[in-house]
Structure 1
Amino acid sequence: MTVKVGVASNHLIHPIPRFDVNFVDYIQRDYIDGLRQADALPLVLPLGDPKDAKAYIEQVDALVLSGGQGVTPVLYGDEPIKEVAETDIYRDQFEIALVKAAVKAHKPVLGICRGEQIINVALGGTLFQDIYKQMGAAGKHNQFPTSWEIPTQHVTTTDGSWLNQILGERFLVNTFHHQAIHQLGENLKSVAESDDHVVEAIESQDGNIIGVQFHPEMMFKTHPEFAKVFDYFVDRVRAGS
């Protein structure tokens, strides 16, 4: 069967030289390539009104949420601190609506980096706005200027978790973030941590929702083991259809 996976888009909110004020919706090609190599059919969902989320989810078998801006703190009950960089409440509200619609429809969800954070907020959880300021993280969680496909930090997985099953107990990942999960959302559990205790992966109690804080889509072409993240997700969608 053809597995149709909706991939929520990002959008430009500032003029840039290439597009000026032509504010395009877009998704990085790596997410699409990751799903295609897993024999899924990616369908990009343009950023829209939250009221349209149910209709979008009805057209797909599963949902992927990508990286990008920080999540707006007021959406999880916090006032922004000075370390918060760009946020986009329009994207936040739409993606939260997509998550809720997918959960209600019992359709699998995969969140990557910001996507993991949005899942957590959609399910009632909170975030550290800045892991250095608020939790005293000691590691370098934004590896720039090191190239994005190079794994730079270790994570340790929970025995028996989905990530443990496909990648093992301990391995290197890439990292590009300063926000992270604080209090877990409803029915979510942490299944991987960095050495300084940042949540690096999640799973719902029923296994239908998974997320990672790192970027497998950036690594799988040079480190093929990370294709297993997409393979696992698409296989789960196929098994539940």
Structure 2
Amino acid sequence: MADALLIGVSARIYHPNVPHADLGGIFTKTLHYLEQSAAHWVIGGGALALMIPPVESEGLLRRIDVSLSDYAERLDGLVLQGGADVSPACYGERPLDPAWAGDPVRDQYEMELIDAFITAGKPVLGICRGMQLINVAFGGTLYQDIATQLPSAIAHVDPARYDSQFHRVRIAPGSRLAALYPGFTHAEINSIHHQGIKELGRELVVEAVAEPDGMIEAVRWQGPSHVFAMQWHPEFMAQRALQPGQLDGGPILREFLGAARQRREASGAAGPET
């Protein structure tokens, strides 16, 4: 593994001001954590997964000591894992319900990560919340709650079924995603989200939509580096025996890691980064 790619995974954040703080002990502290299956999915592709901790002014480190750009310079790619809602404040709205206020601290941290890795020309892969945040980073907006704002939509989340909730998607003909899955025009993917893309961000193209409601399920940046994001969780699907028609996330991971390898080799040919 001496030559393994180093892939940064954004941290989920536990804030002790939520009701679980009354558990005491470590739950009275801010926690940065990595969901196991996200790390194992990356490792399963032959790379090393490293969680990137947020750098906050309230922490022990000052921002002048280390920046997220330092991670972007040294790592080969970035995976944005799922988790808390994106705050409507990020796209100029107020929460329609206090429960949908999201996590502005994580939003700011991951926005900086996206900018740092794109600036460094390193590939970025977004999962679920990660796709939503990428859309917002490029100037797009979100439905704060699909069931409320689009009552005719299919069910995109079922807490009782969680990652066993599946629905059908249509893959855009001629898209890069279609090229990754030759012979697939439709597929079944898991669905664990109540927010979704409303207005598409700048320079993003849609590569998959839900059927029959047309909710955006995958996007790709048209810029010079690799940025792809999907609304489903391939890391959860990798843990189960897939049924016919369900989408294996392997081709998406291999494409992402291939872009990371290509970027590393191009940097090596140009000389070491400073």
TM-score (norm 1): 0.92
- Residues 75 and 19 of structure 1: CA distance in aligned 2, closer, same or farther (over 3 Å): same
**Correspondence list, 1:77-156, <5 A:** 77-82=92-97, 84-85=99-100, 87-148=102-163, 150=164, 152-156=166-170
In the TM superposition, what is the alpha-carbon distance from 1:123 to its structure 2 partner? 1.4
**Correspondence list, 1:43-54, <5 A:** 43-49=50-56, 52-54=67-69
Distance 1:55 1:238 in 2: 19
Mark the runs of 5 or more structure 2 residues left unpaired by the alignment: 58-62, 243-247, 265-274
- Structure 1 residues 87-139: Cα deviation after superposition (integer angstroms, max 9, x where no partner): 11111001001111111111110000000111111111111111222234421
Match of 2:209 in 1: 193
CA-based RMSD: 2.0
Distance 1:180 1:71 in 2: 10
4+ residue runs over 4 A deviation:
none
- Residues 213 and 123 of structure 1: CA distance in aligned 2, closer, same or farther (over 3 Å): same
Q: Counterpart amino acid of 2:140?
A: G
Match of 2:60 in 1: none
Match of 1:42 in 2: 49
Q: In the alignment, is residue 182 of structure 1 matched against residue 198 of structure 2?
A: yes
Match of 1:6 in 2: 8
In the TM superposition, what is the alpha-carbon distance from 1:20 to its structure 2 partner? 2.8
Identity across the alignment (%)? 32
Distance 1:128 1:162 in 2: 26
Partner SS, residue 239 of structure 1: helix
Give the count of matched residue pairs: 240
Contact 1:84 1:130 in 2 (8 A): no
- Structure 1 residues 142-201: Cα deviation after superposition (integer angstroms, max 9, x where no partner): 1321252x3510111111323222332211111111111111212111111101111100
1:172 aligned residue (185, 188, 191)? 188
Q: Which is further off, 76-85 or 190-199? A: 76-85
Distance 1:109 1:155 in 2: 22
Distance 1:58 1:240 in 2: 12
Distance 1:77 1:10 in 2: 23
Contact 1:66 1:114 in 2 (8 A): yes
Distance 1:137 1:40 in 2: 41
Contact 1:116 1:211 in 2 (8 A): yes
Distance 1:165 1:19 in 2: 47
Q: Which is further off, 177-186 or 105-114? A: 177-186
Match of 1:231 in 2: 254
Distance 2:135 2:241 in 1: 28
2:86 aligned residue (71, 79, 96)? 71
Contact 1:129 1:179 in 2 (8 A): yes
TM-score (norm 2): 0.81
1:160 aligned residue (174, 178, 188)? 174
Q: Counterpart amino acid of 2:249?
A: F
- Residues 129 and 151 of structure 1: CA distance in aligned 2, closer, same or farther (over 3 Å): closer
Mark the runs of 5 or more structure 1 residues left unpaired by the alignment: none
